[in-house]
Amino acid sequence: MPFAGILMLGLLAGVEVEQGGQATPPPCVTKHSTLLLTTQMVSGAAVGAWRATHPVIGPALFSGEPRQYLPHFKGDLAEQIFEKLVLRGWFEETGWQAVTPARIGRSGIDLLFVKLGPNGEILDTLVVESKFGTSQLGRTAVGPQMSEDWVRSHMRTTSTLYRKLAQEVSTGGLVWSDRLPGAGTEVIQLPLEKGRNVYLWQDHPGRVAYSVDGGDPGVDQVRRALYKIGDHCSAVGEGRLRYRGTIARYSVDQVAHKITIGGRVVCEGPFDELPLGIQRSLRQAITGSLRKLGYSGHAVSLLVDEYCRQPAETWRWIVNQERWNARVGLGSHLLATGAVTGVATGGMEMLAEFFTERTVDIKRVGSMALMGAGVGMAADYTATQAVTLLTRTEIGQQLAQASGLAGIGGSVVVSAGAGMLVAGIAFPCVEYALGYIDQRTAYRLAVINTGGAVVGVATGAAAWWAVSTFGTASTGTAIASLSGAAATNATLAWFGGGSIAAGGLGVTGGAVVLTGGVALVAVATSVAIATWWHYADLAEKRQLLAARIELVKKTLETQH
């Protein structure tokens, strides 16, 4: 997005107006405004989106509800634990094979299995809901979890997912891979006969990659298997076929871990006394959940070890951890931001001096680079503080709810606007203090860029509201029918062109697109205000010049 903004400014720099017979660029595309807007793009848009999706300190709840993040964390952990157990063949040992259910955020079936006959025919269906401790089944817009209406609704959504994949495969967009993708890529599991599985993922837009247990079965067999699962899920969703349902629970006390499936205790005891396969599954699941909450590096390792030994005590520590303070946003990333904005600002100043004066003042370039670095860091810190206040404090959540900007999507918009606002005011003030521009120019630049930031945020908020109200998720579900994290993730994915599985950029890509759009609107607004101001100045100068000419004429006539 920074490149797009710079390119836009470069094109606008070619627009000239007539003043006294000479072509003069409007003030919005002078080197001062260009440097300022470049810094806005780098520190406001790109950094704002990155900080919003990568919390500085954990835990950070992506749904934007810090007062309720512990139940969400527990639910996510339970889901990951049973997913890891599935990968290790827990259910496969009894003949069940996993099918990837369609999910939007936290909404949907947790685990889905089918039992295949010797010729690949589907004999039975099992729906599993994972819960932490004594958590109860929740209520949704389509009925209580695990109710018949709820299950059949999500089975229809899963049918759509597999049928879309089958259509992509039918058009030739399928390539073989001898290895699975890296972490972070959504993988769809497709069961074949004799316990084999196909794993599919979006390799490139319009192209699906796949890998198979035990050799390549061929594109035709993969396509037929996709349609078979899609048709079967549709039949279950329409009530033409029956299914089984059960609840899998994971619970802890001071030192013990307990797993039950369908009311039957599978294993129970201190971590070191659990089967090695369960230990590995627990560690992987806990690590994944902590990373989702913003923990990284050594902090994850320490927390995983503590949780395995003393799960209850670790919960209490997470609950009481500080959620926000003035130190949030201070770290190595701040120096990286300063380096980027400093180099960008110094480089733009150097180019501006060379093309306008055919010489370069190294001292001035250096001071401008330092100024750009400082302003960039201030903008980055402000953006991080804004998103943190909105997502980790009670008053921030109240403001977010009241303004319709609740969740990470709203915080993306606000953080970008906050970063640009600080840059837009700080840059001209510092330039004025250093004597590079006069007071009138500094005032105008501050007003211009404040207006740009405000309009950018308002446009982003309006776009968010429109998509969340009228948009449709990649699974075909109306976003307005979703709630909480599911609605937030679906809206962000819409801005990203759909989920990764559907060929889009996903939630993270949507955050970048949304934030970049805010910055571009701000840039365009700033350019429009500056251009209007420039033409107003020209009109005033023409009037003044005409008045002076008229005065000279009258003076000459009087003398004659």
Q: What is the pTM of this model?
A: 0.48
Q: What is the pLDDT of residues 160-216, one digit of tens each?
A: 989 988 888 777 667 777 777 766 677 888 888 877 888 888 777 666 777 777 677
How are beta strands 256-261 and 264-270 bridged, if at all? antiparallel
Closest CA relative to residue 408, chosen from 510, 523, 300: 510
How are beta strands 244-252 and 122-132 bridged, if at all? parallel
Question: How far from 45 is each of 40, 374, 412, CA to CA, in Å?
Answer: 7, 17, 9
pLDDT for position 234: 94
CB-based burial label for 359 (10 Å; 0-12, 13-18, 19+): exposed
C-alpha span between 252 and 312 (Å, rounded): 7
C-alpha span between 370 and 372 (Å, rounded): 5
C-alpha span between 6 and 445 (Å, rounded): 18
Q: Is the domain of 49 the same as that of 108?
A: no
Q: How far apart are the first and last CA of the chain?
A: 65
Closest CA relative to residue 46, chosen from 411, 415, 391, 427: 415
C-alpha span between 559 and 130 (Å, rounded): 100
Inside any domain, residue 218: yes
Asked whether 424 and 36 are in contact (CB, 8 A), the reply is yes
E-strand stretches of 272-398: none
Inside any domain, residue 494: yes
Number of domains in the chain: 3
Alpha helices in 238-296 (DSSP H): 276-292
Residues 6+ apart with CB under 8 A from 44: 379, 383, 416, 417, 419, 420, 423, 453, 519, 522
Residues 6+ apart with CB under 8 A from 415: 48, 49, 51, 52, 383, 384, 386, 387, 390, 515
Q: Which domain holds residue 243?
A: 94-248
Q: Is the domain of 462 the same as that of 336?
A: yes
Give, for 86, the enclosing helix (H) or strand (E): helix 69-87
C-alpha span between 291 and 269 (Å, rounded): 26
C-alpha span between 428 and 442 (Å, rounded): 5
pLDDT for position 27: 40
pLDDT for position 326: 75
pLDDT for position 269: 92
Question: How far from 450 is each of 322, 426, 549, CA to CA, in Å?
Answer: 33, 11, 38
Q: Is the domain of 314 the same as that of 328?
A: no
C-alpha span between 528 and 525 (Å, rounded): 5
Q: Is the domain of 515 the same as that of 391?
A: yes
Average pLDDT along the chain, 560 residues, taken 10 residues at a time: 35 36 40 53 49 42 46 74 70 78 78 86 90 82 88 92 85 73 76 82 72 74 89 94 90 87 87 87 84 64 84 73 67 77 82 78 85 83 77 65 57 70 80 80 78 72 69 67 59 62 56 60 68 73 78 72
- DSSP symbol at 332: H
* Cα Dmax for the chain: 116
Q: Is the domain of 184 the same as that of 237?
A: yes
Inside any domain, residue 260: no
Inside any domain, residue 263: no
pLDDT for position 28: 37
Closest CA relative to residue 286, chosen from 104, 108, 83, 52: 83
Q: Is the domain of 98 the same as that of 81?
A: no
- DSSP symbol at 156: H
CB-based burial label for 263 (10 Å; 0-12, 13-18, 19+): exposed
Q: Is the domain of 512 the same as that of 420?
A: yes
Inside any domain, residue 293: yes
Give, for 258, the enclosing helix (H) or strand (E): strand 256-261
Percent of the chain with pLDDT over 90: 8
Domain end (from 302, 321, 340): 321
Q: Is the domain of 334 the same as that of 314?
A: no
Six token digits for residue 422: 């600080």
With tokens 């809206």, the residue in question is 491
C-alpha span between 77 and 281 (Å, rounded): 11
Inside any domain, residue 529: yes
Helices and strands per DSSP (H, E), number in the chain: 16, 16
pLDDT for position 155: 94
Inside any domain, residue 62: no
pLDDT for position 388: 73
C-alpha span between 224 and 288 (Å, rounded): 33
Asked whether 515 and 1 are in contact (CB, 8 A), the reply is yes
How many CB atoms sit inside 10 A of residue 277's CB?
14
Give phi and psi for 197, each to the nearest 5: -135, 145
What is the Cα 39 distance to its own chain's centre? 22
E-strand stretches of 60-215: 97-99, 103-104, 107-108, 111-116, 122-132, 139-140, 143-144, 174-176, 188-191, 197-204, 207-212
Q: Is the domain of 510 the same as that of 528?
A: yes
C-alpha span between 440 and 321 (Å, rounded): 48
Q: Is the domain of 354 the same as that of 400?
A: yes
Q: Is the domain of 48 the same as that of 79?
A: no
C-alpha span between 530 and 452 (Å, rounded): 10
Inside any domain, residue 191: yes
pLDDT for position 127: 92
C-alpha span between 527 and 28 (Å, rounded): 5
C-alpha span between 8 and 103 (Å, rounded): 38
Q: Is the domain of 497 the same as that of 527?
A: yes
Is the preceding peptide bond at 27 cis, omega within 30 degrees of 0? no
C-alpha span between 529 and 532 (Å, rounded): 5
